[in-house]
A and B are shown apart, each in its own frame.
Chain A
């Protein structure tokens, strides 16, 4: 897969703290790239650098494998975390203004806005002032403004904050839609569930450094701890007696006469070794590999980085 956007060794120092040090990311074309990290890690600074709002102290930015140019701003759409609209301005007038700032002509922006307003069923808001709209309505308008110029690269900073669940799904669908049409999305969030659902690739930034990058699939398998969950019938004490050479018991619970155990395979044994050891002695009802959630990996990595 081609790389659409790349940042190499980005460093940014503010007066009294370092926001980014030697951060490199590489965003594959037509994918959803999650930018994760705790508050204050430097995500927003990195996003602002990508948007050319702030300049890095050192490091390079590449777009389509060439240096990022000021005009590339028109190929990027940005939905900031701190977002809003002119309250006293009419929705349509304002949308045209912002679309034109992104380089669209007046007639083009009108045409495209009509399409999007129709799609979101909000044509009736065209002549309303923004202050008359609810927060969720404003977010819809804001989303349209972000994608109106059909950017190659879309950057969403916490896009779901302020949306109700219905609108969250609407936006999720649109994000997938954008990807299907060939767009690339950088997606910054704290919401790990949405990361698992949406992202193909992630980078984890903590304390101004990138501490993890890769596809979600690879990272998950890298961080799986050879743990399995088995549901069985039989005696727990008996299971304990087997532990030691092939596996260790992490967790155990019993409900409705069914025993559930979390175990980790040790000493380089395979799941088959485990099963062949257990099958003669227990009735195995289910056997599952436990993959770490992104949440677990996030917490683990950030704790390690302390």
Chain B
């Protein structure tokens, strides 16, 4: 046992000290953090106040455009030619020109600007105009806009899952899908990245010819298990560091820019408010309530996924899937002389993995169908597929079968791999076929 620990330590330390590991560990979180930060940062840059001139020949909209923190509306002389002259000296972002209409209500306007105006500004303006015109039309047909607003309803569809005992649980399909899918993808990435590392490690020992020196001190099985475990710990370290560093970078960024960030948020909220405030002024309390309700719904459904089960299952399939594939990757590494010879043996391993990801969309649509069932109990696909299925609710019998089969699969794969491994590592300069592997397994 202490020999295995010694091997794990070496496998772990040599990899963790490698430059490529350090680079990846730093680059990963930077890229991940960038995913959070960049959109916010760009939105921030747009945060400067834009002056927009309004030349309204109809006179209908003059009071509709109230300035926000991002947009500053200036009412100009309705003479469009005079107004145009002011774009440059007044540093206007854009000039809105609403031409006079004779009979009908205005339905078009022109936005002059030195550069292409952004889509949010365009949306904001057209929204205000639309509201005004609509309310004018309503007035014209004798309907009070306040009534219309009061009958406007947003349907919040809360899905409730009934379990076998007849108890009700809240669930949120969208969130389930996201959690399950991300879990599945993580397992897939982990297996591929670190399974391949195990294989490369075995090939390295073989081509270095150090393997015979080592197996004269420890059993081939100990070396194999030590390597698989050591590499797993490298992987877990990298994942942990990625999560921690990403959180640090993101939180440092947001605490440094917290002031601007809050401004951005409030102005954003204001934009929303503007769009829902009825033109006549009386504001009802409905929108705020709605927001609260949907937040609670999300929160409830997060709890409903049974986080303990989900995290437990994730850890199990994460580790179990890796161990299963790790053993098989080690066997492949032992059977070949160089990485270029691995192709023919890699195929039976990559196909089920890629299939799992490729079929995941289908599984999400139909999480209880026969395909989902069979793939979620077959050990080579179950780590990814079961993660996708679990958030939708999986019968405990399915889960039990799947877990049992994965454990058996792992034991079987390790047994098989050990047989191939102990022969393979001492075999040089021979092109190995499946037939040859079968012979190794038998004796």
Which A residues fall within an 8 A CB radius of B?
Answer: 14-16, 48, 51, 53-54, 73-74, 76, 78, 80, 82-89, 97-98, 100-103, 142, 145
B3 touches A101 (CB 8 A): yes
> For B213, what are the chain A residues with a Cβ–Cβ distance below 8 Å?
78, 80, 83-85, 98, 142, 145
Stretch of B107-115, B153-161, B204-212, B235-243 that contacts chain A: B204-212
Closest to A130 in B: B208
A53 touches B216 (CB 8 A): yes
Instruction: Name the residue among B7, B215, B216, B220 with the largest chain A CB count within 10 angstroms.
Output: B216
Known: A14-B443, A15-B439. A101 touches B209 (CB 8 A): no
What is the bound-complex CA distance between A16 and B443, given in angstroms?
11
Would you give the shortest CB distance from B290 to chain A, in whole angstroms? 61
A73 touches B214 (CB 8 A): no
B208 touches A80 (CB 8 A): no
What is the bound-complex CA distance between A48 and B425, given in angstroms?
13
Query: What is the predominant secondary structure among interface residues of chain B facing chain A?
Result: helix
Closest to A74 in B: B217
A83 touches B212 (CB 8 A): yes
> For B210, what are the chain A residues with a Cβ–Cβ distance below 8 Å?
83-86
> For A102, what are the chain B residues with a Cβ–Cβ distance below 8 Å?
217
What is the bound-complex CA distance between A87 and B204, given in angstroms?
9
Known: A86-B210, A87-B208, A89-B14. A78 touches B216 (CB 8 A): yes
What is the bound-complex CA distance between A48 and B208, given in angstroms?
18
Closest to A76 in B: B216
B443 touches A15 (CB 8 A): yes
B209 touches A100 (CB 8 A): no
What is the bound-complex CA distance between A88 and B21, given in angstroms?
14
What is the bound-complex CA distance between A15 and B210, given in angstroms?
25
A73 touches B217 (CB 8 A): yes
Would you give the shortest CB distance from A189 to chain B, in whole angstroms? 17
What is the bound-complex CA distance between A80 and B215, given in angstroms?
11
> For B10, what are the chain A residues with a Cβ–Cβ distance below 8 Å?
97
Give the contact-size bracket for chain B.
20 to 34
A51 touches B209 (CB 8 A): no
**Can you offer 8 A-B residue contacts whose CB atoms are under 8 A?**
A51-B216, A53-B216, A80-B216, A82-B212, A83-B210, A86-B14, A86-B204, A101-B6
**Which of B205, B214, B428, B442 is in CB contact (< 8 Å) with A98?**
B214
Would you give the shortest CB distance from A22 to chain B, in whole angstroms? 19
Known: A15-B439, A15-B443, A48-B426. A73 touches B208 (CB 8 A): no
Instruction: Name the residue among A76, A97, A142 with the largest chain B CB count within 10 angstroms.
Output: A97
Closest to A13 in B: B443
What is the bound-complex CA distance between A14 and B440, given in angstroms?
9
Closest to A97 in B: B10
CB of B38 within 8 Å of the partner chain: no
Closest to A146 in B: B213
Closest to A102 in B: B217
What is the bound-complex CA distance between A53 and B425, given in angstroms?
11
> For A48, what are the chain B residues with a Cβ–Cβ distance below 8 Å?
426
A84 touches B209 (CB 8 A): yes
Instruction: Name the residue among A76, A80, A83, A101 with the largest chain B CB count within 10 angstroms.
Output: A101
- B45-104 contacts to A, CB under 8 A, are none
Instruction: Name the residue among B3, B10, B428 with the largest chain A CB count within 10 angstroms.
Output: B10
CB of B218 within 8 Å of the partner chain: yes
Known: A100-B6, A101-B217. A53 touches B443 (CB 8 A): no
> For A88, what are the chain B residues with a Cβ–Cβ distance below 8 Å?
14
Would you give the shortest CB distance from B73 to chain A, in whole angstroms? 66
A84 touches B208 (CB 8 A): yes
Instruction: Name the residue among B14, B208, B220 with the largest chain A CB count within 10 angstroms.
Output: B208
Known: A15-B443, A102-B217. A86 touches B208 (CB 8 A): yes
Would you give the shortest CB distance from B202 to chain A, in whole angstroms? 13
A82 touches B439 (CB 8 A): no
> For A73, what are the chain B residues with a Cβ–Cβ distance below 8 Å?
216-217
Would you give the shortest CB distance from A98 to chain B, in whole angstroms? 7
B209 touches A82 (CB 8 A): yes
Would you give the shortest CB distance from A269 to chain B, in whole angstroms? 53
> For A86, what are the chain B residues with a Cβ–Cβ distance below 8 Å?
14, 204-205, 208, 210
Other contacts beyond A73-B217, A86-B204, A103-B217: 16, CB < 8 A? A15-B439, A48-B426, A53-B215, A53-B220, A80-B209, A82-B209, A84-B208, A85-B210, A86-B208, A87-B208, A88-B14, A89-B14, A97-B10, A98-B213, A98-B214, A101-B3
